[in-house]
Amino acid sequence: MVDTLSGSIKEMQDSNNEILRTDIEIENISTNGVFINAVVRNTGKVKIREFESMDVIVHYNASGTMKTIWVPYLKGTEPAENSWVVRDITRDAINPGIFDPDEEMEIRIRVNTGEAVLTDSLNNWIQITTPNGIHSSKYFRG
Q: What is the pLDDT of residues 78-111, one digit of tens each?
A: 999 999 999 999 988 889 999 999 999 999 999 9
pLDDT score at 138? 97
In this structure, the number of other CB atoms found within 10 A of the CB of residue 12 comes to 10
Does the pLDDT of residue 67 top 70, yes or no? yes
Span 47-67, average pLDDT: 93
**Amino acid (one-letter) located at 112:** N
Of 64-68, 83-87, 113-117, which gets the smallest average pLDDT? 113-117
Burial class (CB in 10 A: 0-12, 13-18, 19+), 42: buried
pLDDT score at 122? 82
With beta carbons less than 8 A apart as the criterion, state whether 24 and 141 touch.
no
Whole-number Å distance between alpha carbons of 50 and 57? 17
Q: Which residue has the higher pLDDT, 21 or 37?
A: 37
Q: Which CATH architecture has domain 2-140?
A: Sandwich (2.60)
pLDDT band at 20 (very low <50, low <70, confident <90, very high): low
Confidence (pTM): 0.85
Does the pLDDT of residue 14 top 80, yes or no? no
In this structure, the number of other CB atoms found within 10 A of the CB of residue 124 comes to 23
pLDDT score at 119? 72
Span 9-38, average pLDDT: 80
Span 110-137, average pLDDT: 88
Question: Residue 68 region, left (φ>0) first, then alpha (ψ -120 to 50), else beta?
Answer: beta
With beta carbons less than 8 A apart as the criterion, state whether 42 and 101 touch.
yes
